[in-house]
């Protein structure tokens, strides 16, 4: 009998999980909310890229280690706001003054029924984070809001940035 060796990359924090992965995970988790074993399998599939075909072949110790590693951070979604994130070599800054943001940005955010991490969240992030135009010490300015959304770039940003922004809003 041939033994197949597989490498499993286990995320150790929300920084290792992209919005794209998280949204796919959440959609599928709803289908299995009454089955803990199935929910774990879905997490391993989406977060570790572990094909379900190999799940049954994992050693119990390895399975428990991976599950424990994921559980060590999965429950804590109250993360700190990251004022700056870098995407494709460009530094983006969080809207420096939410109470004084442009009417267009405010209007576009409020058109969403709820501020939550769902299929609209990448659009909201595209409004809240814009390229930094000036930076001096703790002070910074970001590009003026134009109404153009580029949500695709936020799909590959780590969930640590997304949760930080969500709980700051």
- 69 and 114 both lie in a single domain: no
Per-residue pLDDT, 76: 87
**Whose CA is closest to 62, among 36, 39, 38, 44?**
44
- 61 and 88 both lie in a single domain: no
Q: Could you tell me the pLDDT band of residue 135, with boundaries at 50, 70 and 90? A: very high
Range of the structural domain that residue 67 is part of: 14-74
- 114 and 155 both lie in a single domain: yes
In a domain, 8, yes or no: no
Chain segment 2-61, per-residue pLDDT in tens: 667 788 999 999 999 999 999 999 999 888 888 988 888 999 999 999 988 888 888 899
Contact predicate 126/154, CB 8 Å: yes
Chain segment 136-166, per-residue pLDDT in tens: 988 999 999 999 999 999 999 999 999 999 9
- 89 and 157 both lie in a single domain: yes
DSSP designation for 137: T
Report the C-alpha gap between 54 and 57 in whole angstroms. 5
- 60 and 20 both lie in a single domain: yes
Last residue of a domain, one of 28, 51, 74: 74
Q: What is the pTM of this model?
A: 0.89
Contact predicate 27/33, CB 8 Å: no
- 98 and 138 both lie in a single domain: yes
For residue 85, the SS3 value is: strand
Report the C-alpha gap between 68 and 96 in whole angstroms. 37
Chain segment 55-106, per-residue pLDDT in tens: 888 889 999 999 999 999 998 888 999 999 999 999 999 999 888 999 999 9
Contact predicate 18/155, CB 8 Å: yes
Per-residue pLDDT, 95: 96
Per-residue pLDDT, 7: 86
Report the C-alpha gap between 166 and 169 in whole angstroms. 5
Per-residue pLDDT, 132: 97
Query: Domain count of the chain?
Result: 2
What b-and-e string marks burial along 55-75, b requiring 16 or more CB atoms within 10 Å of the CB?
eeebeeeebeebeeebeebee
CB atoms within 10 A of CB 45: 16
Examine the pLDDT at 1 and tell me if it is beyond 70.
Answer: no
- 96 and 55 both lie in a single domain: no
- 67 and 92 both lie in a single domain: no
- 70 and 89 both lie in a single domain: no
Task: Indicate the burial class of 119 (C-beta count within 10 angstroms; 0-12, 13-18, 19 or more).
Answer: exposed
């Amino acid at each position: 009998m041939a033994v197949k060796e597989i490498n499993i990359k286990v995320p150790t924090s929300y920084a290792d999980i992209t919005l794209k992965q998280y949204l796919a995970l959440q959609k599928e988790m709803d289908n299995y909310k009454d089955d803990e074993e199935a929910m774990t399998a879905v997490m391993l599939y989406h977060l570790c890229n572990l094909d379900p075909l190999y799940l049954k072949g994992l050693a119990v110790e390895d399975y428990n280690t991976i599950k424990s590693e994921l559980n060590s951070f999965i429950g804590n979604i109250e993360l700190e706001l990251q004022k700056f994130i870098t995407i494709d070599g460009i530094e983006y800054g969080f809207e420096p003054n939410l109470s004084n943001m442009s009417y267009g940005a405010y209007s576009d955010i409020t058109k969403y029924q709820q501020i939550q991490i769902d299929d609209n969240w990448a659009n909201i992030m595209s409004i809240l984070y814009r390229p930094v135009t000036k930076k001096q010490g703790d002070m910074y300015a970001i590009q003026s809001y134009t109404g153009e959304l580029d949500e695709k770039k936020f799909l590959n940003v780590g969930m640590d940035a997304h949760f930080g922004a969500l709980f700051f809003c």
